[in-house]
Amino acid sequence: MGKCNQSLLEILLKDSSFNNWAKKSNQNDMAFWEKWIREHPDTIETVYTARDIIIGIAFKKDILPEEKINKELNAVLAQISLKKEIEDAKKVIPINRNPRAKFIKYSAVAAIGLLVIVFGNIALNSSSEVTHKTGFGEIINLKLPDGTSVVLNGNSEIKYSKEDTRNIALKGEAYFKVKSIPATKAKFWVNTKDLKVEVYGTQFHVNTREKKTDVLLDEGSIHLVLDNGDTTEMVPGELVSFSKENNRISQQKLTTELPYALWREDTYVFNNITLEEVMKNVKHAYGVVIEFNDEELKHQLLTGGIPNQNLKICLSAIEKSTGTQIVNKDNKLILFKNSNN
Amino acid sequence: MNESSEKAIWLLFVEGDLNAFSTLFKLFYDPLHNYGLKISSNSEITEDCLQNFFIYLYDNRTTFGTVKHVKSYLFVSFRRALLKSLKKERKYTDLNLAQENSTAFEFSSEELMVKQELTKIRKEAVAILLNSLSTREREAIYLKYYSELPTNRISEVMDISYQSVLNTLQKAFTKLRHHLEKHEIKQVFNLN
C-alpha cells in the first residue's frame, strides 16, 4: 500500500475545486486537477483516498412509515402529560405530618388512580377527537361543525371531541367568531392552561403563548372561569390577562395609552409595545431565533398594524415602522439600527 | 430543515413548547432509530430506549446548557443511553456478549446504491468489503454517509479527535480501494 499524506489529504478535502473534480461537476476544475495529478504522481494515493472520501458510499435510506413515528410520538406525549399530572397531584400532599396525613396520602393515591383512568379513556376515545394544528409560519381558517369560525395562527393547536364540538382546547393563538345558537342558547367554551372562556356568540382573540392567557373581546359578552375558580365578565373592547403561575389577573379597557398586542386574521395590531415583545410574537409564530444587535432597540415602542401573511412581509413592515434593519440569517433574525437614522 | 432552524426549534423546545418537541421528535426519530438498530441489532431495545430518551430530553430540557449542533447532540446522548441499557441487558444475556461488538454496524447489500466508482462491482462484494472493516471504521462510514453528519461532529459522537476520524476514514477507503482493485483484476482474468 502506498503512503497517504495527512496534511495534503486535509487540504484536498477542504478544497472546493478539488471536490468539484472528485464529483466531476466542473469542467475547469477537472482540467486543472488532471494536470496537477500528472505533475504530482507521488501524491496519487492521497488524491484517490481524498476522492473516495468525498464520493463516499451511497446508502439507500430505510425510512420508517409516518404512522409508526406518530404512534411512538403519541406514546411519549401521553407519558409526559401523565407524569406531569402525577407530579401536580403530589404537590397536594402537605409536607408536615399530622393525624390526617395518612388520609390525605390515600386520597392522593386515589387521585392518581383516577387520572390514569381518565387517560385510558382519552386513549380509547381518541378516534372521536379532532385536532387542528399549524406548523411554524402557517395560518389556517377553520369552520367548526357548529358554524363557528376560527383563525389559527402559526405553531398553534385546537382540539375538541366530535360529541361536543362547542367545547374546545387551545394552545397558542387564535381568533374566534362564535356562531350564536339563539334557539337553545348553547354555550361555547375555549379552554386554556390558565382559564376557560364561556360565550354564547361573539368575536374574540385568545393567546396562550407566554406564561399566561390573554383574551380580547371584540363583540358580544364573555364569561371567564379562571384556573383558581374565580369568575369575571368581559365587555367588548376589554383585555384580560391571567396567569395561573402567579395567580394574577389584569382586566382593562383598551385605550390608546394602554400597551396591548393583538392578532386577527393576518394582521398584528400593536399599541405601545416594545420591540422585544413584538419580536416574541414573531418568534412563536414562525419558529425563529431573535437577536438584538443593539440593546437599546429592545425598548423601542411600536404602535400600528403589522401584516402577517408571511415572514417576509411581516419583517419588512416592522423594519419600516421602527426604522430598523432585520437580517434573516438561516432563521435567526438579527435586528440592527438603521444607519440612516 | 437546516442546522439553524433545527436550533430555533430546539430553543423553543427548551422553553417547554410541546409543539417544538413534537417537531424535533418527527425530525430525529427515524435517523436515531436507524442508528440504534445499527448499534444494537435489536429493535425492541432500540425502541424502548428511544422512548425513554425522548422523555428524558423533555424532563431535563432546562439542564442541557448551550447546544451547538442539535443533530450531533442527539446522536451523542442517544448513543450513550443505548450503550448503557445494552450493558444492563448483557448481565442477563451473557451469551451474546462476545458477538455484540462484531455485529454492530453491519451492512447489507440491499442498503447500498450502486453509484459512480462502484458500478462495476456487485453490491454484495461491496457489502462484504465494508463488513470486513473494523467496527469503528464502519461506524465512521455510517455516520458520515448514512447519517450525513459533518466530520467534526462525527468526532464528537464517537468521542475521538477530528484527526482520528480522518485517519479512520482514510484507512477504511484505502482498504476498500485496494480490495476493489484486486477484485476487478480477478474479474478481468475470470472471464467465464
pLDDT tens-digit readout, B67-120? 889 999 999 999 999 988 887 776 545 444 334 455 678 888 778 776 545 454
The stretch B4-30 carries a mean pLDDT of 89
Q: How far is CA A156 from CA A8, B11, B78, in A?
A: 52, 17, 29
Number of H helices, E strands in chain A: 8, 20
Q: What is the pLDDT of residue B136?
A: 87
Confidence class for position B17, pLDDT limits 50, 70, 90:
confident
Query: Which residue in the set A10, A70, A331 is minimally distant from B166, CB to CB?
Result: A10
What is the architecture of the domain spanning B1-104? Orthogonal Bundle (1.10)
Q: What is the pLDDT of residues A193-246, one digit of tens each?
A: 888 888 877 788 888 888 888 888 888 788 888 888 888 888 888 888 888 888
Residue of B nearest to A154 (CA): B19
CATH number at residue A173: 2.60.120.1440
Q: How many CB atoms lie within 10 A of CB A158?
A: 23
Convert chain B into a string of H (helix), E (strand) and C (coil).
CCHHHHHHHHHHHHCCCHHHHHHHHHHHHHHHHHHHHHHHCCHHHHHHHHHHHHHHHHHCHHHCCCCCCHHHHHHHHHHHHHHHHHHHHHHHCHHHHHHHHHHCCCCCHHHECCCHHHCCCCHHHHHHHHHCCCHHHHHHHHHHHHCCCCHHHHHHHHCCCHHHHHHHHHHHHHHHHHHHHHHHHHHHHCCC
**A1 within a domain of the structure (yes/no):** no
**A237 within a domain of the structure (yes/no):** yes
Among A147, A194, A163, A139, smallest CA distance to A313 is for: A139
The Cα B43–Cα B149 span in angstroms is 23
Angle at A169 between CA A165 and CA A174, to 5 degrees: 100
**A60 within a domain of the structure (yes/no):** no
CA of A286 to nearest chain B CA: how many angstroms apart?
10
Lowest mean pLDDT among A94-103, A261-270, A320-329: A94-103
Does the pLDDT of residue A159 top 80, yes or no? yes
Q: Kindly indicate whether the ipTM for this predicted assembly is greater than 0.90, answering yes or no.
A: no
Strand partners, A326: A335
CA of A240 to nearest chain B CA: how many angstroms apart?
23
Residue B145: CB partners within 8 Å, gap ≥ 6?
A: A56, A57, A58, A59
Q: What is the pLDDT of residues A46-77, one digit of tens each?
A: 999 999 899 888 888 888 998 899 999 988 98
- Provide, rounded to the nearest whole percent, the portion of chain B with pLDDT above 90: 38
Strand partners, A264: A267
Angle at B179 between CA B176 and CA B183, to 5 degrees: 135
Lowest mean pLDDT among A142-156, A174-188, B76-90: A174-188
Among A52, A58, A59, smallest CA distance to A21 is for: A52
Q: Where are the domains of chain B?
A: 1-104, 105-192
Going by their DSSP bridges, the two strands A289-292 and A267-274 should be labelled as unpaired
Lowest mean pLDDT among A56-70, A146-160, A198-212, A290-304: A198-212
Mutate: best of A8, A12, A25, A59, partner B, most B CBs <10 A = A59
| Cβ contact, residue pair B174, A49, below 8 Å | yes
- A180 and A248, same domain (yes or no): yes
Q: What is the pLDDT of residue B25?
A: 95
Q: What is the pLDDT of residue A102?
A: 41
The more confidently predicted of residues A24 and B50 is B50
> Where does a domain end: A128, A155, A171?
A128
Chain A positions touching B78 (Cβ under 8 A) are none
Q: What is the pLDDT of residues A73-113, one digit of tens each?
A: 988 988 888 777 777 766 554 443 344 444 444 444 333 32
- Domain of A268, in residue numbers: 260-337
Going by their DSSP bridges, the two strands A149-152 and A140-143 should be labelled as antiparallel
Number of domains in chain A: 4
Strand partners, A302: A273
The more confidently predicted of residues A120 and A51 is A51
**A323 within a domain of the structure (yes/no):** yes
The stretch A284-291 carries a mean pLDDT of 88
Chain B positions touching A133 (Cβ under 8 A) are 19
The more confidently predicted of residues A337 and A86 is A337
**A103 within a domain of the structure (yes/no):** yes
* Residue count of chain B: 192
Q: What is the pLDDT of residue B121?
A: 55
- A230 and A139, same domain (yes or no): yes
> Where does a domain end: A77, A100, A128?
A128
Q: What is the pLDDT of residue B187?
A: 58
Does the pLDDT of residue A115 top 80, yes or no? no
**What integer best gives the mean pLDDT of chain B?**
82
Chain B positions touching A62 (Cβ under 8 A) are 34, 111
| Cβ contact, residue pair B173, A62, below 8 Å | no
Chain A positions touching B58 (Cβ under 8 A) are 76, 80
E-assigned strands of A220-297?
Answer: 222-226, 231-234, 238-243, 248-253, 260-264, 267-274, 289-292
Residue of A nearest to B59 (CA): A80
Give me the residue label for grid cell 390608546.
Answer: A256
> Where does a domain end: A128, A153, A171?
A128
Among B92, B57, B30, smallest CA distance to A62 is for: B30
The stretch A120-137 carries a mean pLDDT of 64
Does the pLDDT of residue A337 top 90, yes or no? no
Q: What is the pLDDT of residue B189?
A: 55
CATH number at residue A275: 3.55.50.30
Query: Which residue in the set A13, A52, A283 is minimally distant from B177, CB to CB?
Result: A52
Check if the beta carbon of residue A335 is closer than 8 Å to that of residue A294: yes
Residue A284: CB partners within 8 Å, gap ≥ 6?
A: A154, A155, A172, A173, A209, B12
What is the CATH number assigned to the segment(s) B105-192?
1.10.10.10
**A169 within a domain of the structure (yes/no):** yes
CA of B4 to nearest chain A CA: how many angstroms apart?
6
CA atoms within 13 A on the CB side of B81: 23
Query: Which residue in the set A63, A156, A288 is minimally distant from B8, CB to CB?
Result: A288
- A328 and A309, same domain (yes or no): yes
* Assigned C-alpha cell, A306: 403589522
Does the pLDDT of residue A306 top 90, yes or no? no
- A193 and A299, same domain (yes or no): no
Chain A positions touching B12 (Cβ under 8 A) are 155, 283-284, 287
- A13 and A120, same domain (yes or no): no
- pTM equals 0.55
CA dihedral A21, A25, A27, A33 (to 10 degrees): 0
Does the pLDDT of residue A2 top 60, yes or no? no
* DSSP secondary structure, A7-71, as one string: HHHHHHHH-HHHHHHHTT--HHHHHHHHHHHHH-GGGHHHHHHHHHHHH--PBPP-PPPHHHHHH
- How big is chain B by its Cα radius of gyration, in Å? 19
The stretch A135-143 carries a mean pLDDT of 82
CA of B96 to nearest chain A CA: how many angstroms apart?
26
Q: What is the pLDDT of residue A120?
A: 29
Strand partners, A175: A151, A205
- Provide, rounded to the nearest whole percent, the portion of chain A with pLDDT above 70: 86
Among A310, A305, A336, A308, smallest CA distance to A321 is for: A305
CA of B43 to nearest chain A CA: how many angstroms apart?
12
Among B7, B74, B67, B66, smallest CA distance to B34 is for: B74
Q: What is the pLDDT of residue B100?
A: 42
- A145 and A247, same domain (yes or no): yes
- A241 and A140, same domain (yes or no): yes
Q: What is the pLDDT of residue A101?
A: 41
- A246 and A154, same domain (yes or no): yes
Check if the beta carbon of residue A221 is closer than 8 Å to that of residue A199: yes
| Cβ contact, residue pair B178, A172, below 8 Å | no
Q: What is the pLDDT of residue A163?
A: 83
Mutate: best of B30, B34, B149, B155, partner A, most A CBs <10 A = B30
| Cβ contact, residue pair A157, B19, below 8 Å | yes
| Cβ contact, residue pair A172, B19, below 8 Å | yes
The more confidently predicted of residues A190 and A118 is A190
Chain A positions touching B174 (Cβ under 8 A) are 1, 4, 45, 49
**A21 within a domain of the structure (yes/no):** yes
Residue A63: CB partners within 8 Å, gap ≥ 6?
A: B30
**A61 within a domain of the structure (yes/no):** no
